[in-house]
């Protein structure tokens, strides 16, 4: 019996010694040494522009993270708005190199996501996160630099028109912010909102919303119904007459207006030529029809080419007229813009799209 016990103890001792030896032979990857961003330096800056989308917006180099053994390291460039302490870090790019470059377009999108204000210089905290393996273990974080960025925005600021006219006009359920019709300002930071809204109801009520998600901060009439807006103690704005309205609102001057508009095509390229005399003769306009399904004005008409031209105008006069945008060749339009034309004579379906505020356009499709 004693011999059996001795044998068991001997085996246990050998196993213990072997186990300890094996543990000493194993090597685990452990972070060591410094891990720092080499360039750019904290405080460097960049101004981003939509005219240089593919230019480098941020070029980074950093020191390799030393894990003690040869291993492939994955680096993720993380950013956050300065002061937010990487509460919700945004990954700018991922690489196994110790350098990375992102374009101006990519950086701009991430800056806006992080909360930087367009056309205003803001601080962007930048750091590198390193990990090992596909499971991203052995995390290490570099130092943090502040990169100063002035991002841009190509989206015009908007307000939204909501009311009891939405359903009758083809927009959806009444008084539903998600169905509200957008108006756009002329530039970022501007408050001169405009757009066209179909209000196909004899009597209607409406308000202006800062967003199309809720009624928070909504604007209404001050009770005088003379075109003055207020945000506190407001009442619904009122309108009479089913029409396609040119709507304006200014949230700084607190004013608004609506103007009925019925659109037509006119010019030497049309069968009735240009309207005669100041203001024109109503019968010479080629009236278009509003299609509530496509939300476009349309007409099928014979147009000539060879120097003959045309424009779009509302209400049989030139107060509201649309032509070519700055003399370019695309389909965008300006109020009071240059005359338009088609490349060849023929019978065309002409459509005027006013549903995208400040991005009005037209098409002419040969039939």
Residue range 7-40, pLDDT digits in tens:
433 434 333 434 443 434 444 444 444 699 999 9
CA distance 275 to 255: 34
The model's pTM: 0.74
Residue listed under structure tokens 């100041």 = 278
Is the pLDDT score of 213 beyond 50? yes
Mean pLDDT on 198-226: 98
Domains 37-150 and 158-260 share a fold: yes
Would you state the structure tokens that stand for residue 295, as one six-digit string? Answer: 């939300």
Q: Three-state DSSP class for 179? A: helix
Domain limits, the chain = 37-150, 158-260, 263-366
Per CATH, the number for 37-150 is: 2.60.40.10
Range from 265-274, 318-327, 346-355 carrying the lowest mean pLDDT:
318-327
Cα 115 to Cα 86, 90, 105, 108, 185: the distances in Å are 12, 11, 16, 11, 21
Instruction: Name the strand (E) or helix (H) holding 17.
Output: helix 2-25
The answer to whether the beta carbons of residues 193 and 248 sit under 8 Å apart is yes
First to last CA, the chain: 108
> Which range, 25-29, 71-75, 274-278, 347-351, has the best average confidence (pLDDT)?
347-351
Quote the CA–CA distance of 153 and 210 in Å, as a whole number: 18
pLDDT of residue 280 exceeding 70, the answer is: no
Is the pLDDT assigned to residue 141 strictly greater than 80? yes
Q: What is the pLDDT of residue 7?
A: 40
User: Quick one: average pLDDT of 294-317?
Assistant: 97
User: In which band, very low, low, confident or very high, does the pLDDT at 207 lie, cut at 50, 70 and 90?
Assistant: very high
**What is residue 13's predicted lDDT score, i.e. its pLDDT?**
35
Q: What percent of the chain has pLDDT over 90?
A: 81
- Torsion angle in degrees (nearest 10) through CA of 116, 122, 128, 129: -40
The rounded mean pLDDT for the chain is 90
Q: What gap in Å lies between CA 297 and CA 135, rounded to an integer?
A: 57
The pLDDT tens digits for 161-191 are 999 999 999 999 999 999 999 999 999 889 9
Higher pLDDT, 278 or 268: 268
Residues 245, 246, 250, 255, Cα dihedral to 10°: -60
Instruction: For 158-260, give the CATH class.
Output: mainly beta
């Amino acid at each position: 019996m004693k011999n059996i016990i001795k044998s068991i103890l001997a085996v246990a001792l050998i196993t213990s010694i072997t186990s300890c030896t094996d543990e000493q032979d194993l090597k685990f990857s452990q972070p060591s040494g410094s891990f720092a961003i080499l360039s750019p330096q904290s405080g460097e800056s960049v101004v981003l522009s939509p005219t240089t989308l593919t230019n480098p917006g941020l070029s980074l180099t950093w020191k390799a993270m030393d894990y003690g053994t040869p291993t492939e390291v994955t680096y993720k460039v993380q950013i956050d708005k300065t002061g937010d302490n990487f509460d919700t870090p945004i990954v700018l790019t991922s690489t196994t190199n110790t350098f990375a470059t992102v374009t101006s377009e990519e950086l701009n999108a991430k800056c806006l996501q992080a909360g930087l204000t367009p056309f205003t210089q803001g601080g962007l905290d930048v750091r590198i996160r390193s990990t090992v393996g596909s499971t991203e273990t052995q995390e290490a974080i570099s130092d943090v630099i502040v990169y100063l960025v002035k991002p841009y925005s190509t989206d015009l600021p908007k307000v939204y028109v909501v009311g009891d006219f939405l359903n009758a006009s083809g927009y959806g359920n009444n008084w539903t912010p998600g169905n509200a019709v957008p108006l756009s300002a002329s530039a970022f930071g501007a408050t001169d909102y405009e757009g066209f809204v179909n209000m196909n109801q004899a009597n209607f009520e409406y308000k202006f919303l800062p967003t199309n998600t809720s009624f928070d901060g909504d604007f209404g009439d001050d009770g005088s119904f003379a075109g003055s807006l207020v945000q506190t103690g407001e009442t619904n704005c009122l309108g009479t007459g089913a029409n396609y309205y040119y709507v304006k609102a200014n949230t700084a001057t607190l004013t608004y207006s609506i103007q009925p508009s019925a659109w037509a095509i006119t010019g030497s390229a049309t069968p009735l030529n240009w309207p005669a005399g100041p203001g024109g003769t109503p019968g010479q306009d080629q009236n278009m029809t509003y299609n509530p399904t496509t939300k476009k004005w349309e007409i099928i008409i014979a147009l000539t080419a060879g120097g003959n031209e045309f424009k779009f105008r509302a209400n049989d006069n030139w107060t509201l007229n649309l032509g070519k945008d700055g003399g370019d060749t695309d389909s965008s339009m300006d109020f009071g813009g240059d005359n338009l034309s088609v490349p060849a004579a023929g019978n065309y379906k002409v459509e005027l799209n006013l549903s995208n505020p400040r991005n009005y356009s037209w098409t002419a499709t040969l039939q």
